[in-house]
């Protein structure tokens, strides 16, 4: 019998929704983290010192700390300077590098460890960029400079948008959830973060909760262009991201639930990866109560069902799931989530997708 360990409970005693889903699949709670196949408390795993025991058990540990993903400076240094999947980006780590900075187009100046828009500013010229960079550098000795992509438009408003994709990285395995959505903002907005946009007078006026569905994005871009170019490029970018950070990912069963943000260019509908957000387990404790947007609630429920299936499949026979992916040369749909790539010790190069336009079924 598989067990889950969770020290998160609401005041009324309700369990985390993922634990409820696993209970329906025959799992039981345990107070002994050493015998749990799933732990929603990553700090508890540090108490298990027997590495042999940790590796032998099929553990899933919902982790919330990985500098290679959460620190923008480390992340984009790992990704390199290629602008195929992300905007041209430089990381400056000295006063001399900032002094030499020259920009001839709008850029975003970013604090490496701030999220939610609190550490991002737009600069229109070299002088503005340098001043912002020096201000950030005083606080953390590193600053990220990234080209500002002119975003594609949605018809209502019109509005700009930023795509949000949820993925799971667990060591050599990468999974991407089938449903995408977008954060929207008015045409002249600089940032699309919900906390910032909720203060605007037109919040929710054009799209409820400033959230657009993938169907709406697809229609705005054009179904053929979205299916054959935008969506496949997103999947390739996520795989490239996974390959770049793979050496920094733990191998003890820890997994990261990621919110990956993409800007889609207005001219070619090309998606550019701009940020990774690690989601701790408590962010999905009770989706009905935590997500006011029906679109996000539906997306969360679908994702958690997919995650529960993955964990349960791993306990039963996950190897067949991986082998099927390798044999068919394409992701295997596990309900709400699909295996996008799997790296073995003998295969360290990206497994690029040959059928990307039809790999993951969306809600359209």
* pLDDT tens-digit series, residues 161-217: 999 999 999 999 999 998 899 999 988 887 777 667 777 888 889 999 999 999 999
| 355 confidence band (pLDDT: 50, 70, 90) | very low
Which residues are registered as beta bridge partners of 272? 263
What is the Cα–Cα distance from 150 to 129, expressed in whole angstroms?
A: 18
Q: pLDDT tens, 222-276?
A: 999 999 999 999 999 999 999 999 999 998 899 999 999 999 999 999 999 999 9
| 343 confidence band (pLDDT: 50, 70, 90) | low
Instruction: Detail the DSSP E strand segments found in 215-313.
Output: 254-264, 271-279
Torsion of the alpha carbons at 38, 44, 50 and 54, rounded to the nearest 10: 20
Q: Which of 68, 51, 8 is nearest to 245 (CA)?
A: 68
Here the tokens at position 61 are 């540990």
pLDDT of 278 reads: 95
DSSP summary character for residue 16: P
Q: What is the mean pLDDT of residues 310-333?
A: 61
The correct answer on CATH 3.40.1280.10 for the domain covering 88-147 is: no
pLDDT of 335 reads: 45
Instruction: Give the number of C-alpha atoms closer than 13 A to the C-alpha of residue 214, restricted to the C-beta side.
Output: 20
pLDDT of 192 reads: 76
Torsion of the alpha carbons at 81, 82, 85 and 90, rounded to the nearest 10: 20
Q: What percent of the chain has pLDDT over 90?
A: 63
pLDDT of 266 reads: 96
pLDDT of 291 reads: 94
Res 310 pLDDT > 60: yes
pLDDT of 317 reads: 65
| 136 confidence band (pLDDT: 50, 70, 90) | very high
What is the Cα–Cα distance from 15 to 147, expressed in whole angstroms?
A: 43
On whether the CB atoms of residues 361 and 227 are closer than 8 A, the answer is: no
Q: What is the mean pLDDT of residues 340-359?
A: 39
What is the Cα–Cα distance from 335 to 178, expressed in whole angstroms?
A: 8
| 281 confidence band (pLDDT: 50, 70, 90) | very high
Q: pLDDT tens, 40-76?
A: 988 776 655 554 444 445 789 999 999 999 999 999 9
Q: What is the mean pLDDT of residues 108-136?
A: 92
Q: How far is CA 283 from the centre of its chain?
A: 13
Top-confidence range, 11-20, 39-48, 344-353? 11-20
pLDDT of 351 reads: 34
Here the tokens at position 255 are 């997994």
* Cα distances (angstroms) measured from residue 280 to each of 20, 119, 311, 331, 361: 17, 20, 17, 25, 26
On whether the CB atoms of residues 151 and 191 are closer than 8 A, the answer is: no
pLDDT of 45 reads: 64
On whether the CB atoms of residues 357 and 227 are closer than 8 A, the answer is: yes
Instruction: Detail the DSSP E strand segments found in the chain.
Output: 3-5, 28-29, 38-39, 60-62, 89-92, 107-110, 120-123, 143-147, 153-154, 159-170, 173-177, 181-186, 211-213, 254-264, 271-279, 337-342
Residue for token pair 């929603």: 40
pLDDT of 324 reads: 52
Res 362 pLDDT > 90: no
Mean pLDDT across the chain: 84
Backbone angles phi, psi at 144, to 5 degrees: -110, 130
Res 10 pLDDT > 70: no
Q: Which of 185, 189, 180 is nearest to 204 (CA)?
A: 185
Helix/strand/coil percentages in the chain, nearest 5 = 40, 25, 35
Q: What is the mean pLDDT of residues 98-109?
A: 95
On whether the CB atoms of residues 20 and 308 are closer than 8 A, the answer is: no
Res 356 pLDDT > 50: no
Q: What is the mean pLDDT of residues 25-43?
A: 89
- 153-358 is classed in which CATH architecture? 2-Layer Sandwich (3.30)
Across 149-153, 195-199, 344-348, least confident range: 344-348
Here the tokens at position 176 are 């991407």
Residues 205, 206, 210: CA angle, nearest 5 degrees: 85
């Amino acid at each position: 019998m598989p067990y889950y360990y969770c020290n998160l409970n609401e005041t009324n005693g309700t369990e985390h929704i993922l634990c409820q889903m696993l209970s329906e699949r025959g799992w039981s709670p345990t107070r002994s983290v050493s015998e749990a196949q799933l732990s929603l408390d990553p700090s508890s795993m540090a108490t298990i010192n027997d590495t042999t025991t940790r590796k032998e058990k099929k553990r899933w540990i919902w982790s919330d700390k990985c500098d290679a993903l959460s620190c923008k400076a480390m992340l984009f240094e790992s990704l390199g300077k290629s602008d195929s999947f992300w905007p041209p980006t430089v990381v400056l780590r000295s006063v001399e590098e900032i002094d030499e900075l020259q920009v001839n187009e709008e850029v975003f100046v970013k604090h490496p460890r701030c999220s939610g828009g609190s550490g991002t500013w737009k600069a229109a010229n070299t002088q503005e960029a340098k001043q912002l960079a020096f201000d950030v550098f005083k606080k953390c000795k590193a600053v990220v400079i990234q080209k500002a992509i002119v975003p594609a438009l949605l018809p209502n408003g019109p509005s700009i948008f930023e795509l949000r994709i949820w993925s799971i990285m667990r060591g050599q395995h990468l999974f991407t959830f089938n449903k995408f959505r977008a954060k929207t903002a008015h045409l002249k907005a600089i940032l699309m973060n919900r906390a910032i946009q909720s203060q605007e007078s037109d919040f929710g006026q054009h799209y409820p909760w400033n959230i657009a569905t993938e169907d709406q994005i697809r229609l705005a871009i054009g179904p053929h262009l979205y299916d054959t170019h935008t969506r496949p490029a997103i999947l390739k970018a996520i795989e490239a991201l996974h390959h770049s950070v793979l050496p920094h990912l733990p191998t003890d069963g820890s997994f990261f639930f990621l919110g990956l943000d993409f800007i889609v260019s207005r001219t070619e509908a090309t998606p550019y990866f701009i940020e990774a957000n690690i989601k701790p387990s408590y962010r999905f404790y009770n989706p009905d109560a935590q997500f006011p947007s029906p679109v996000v609630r539906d997306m969360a429920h679908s994702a958690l069902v997919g995650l529960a299936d993955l964990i349960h499949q791993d306990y039963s026979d996950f190897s067949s799931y991986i082998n099927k992916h390798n044999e068919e040369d394409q992701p295997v749909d596990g309900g709400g989530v699909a295996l996008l790539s799997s790296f073995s010790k003998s295969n360290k190069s990206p497994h690029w997708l040959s059928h990307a336009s039809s790999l993951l079924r969306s809600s359209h």
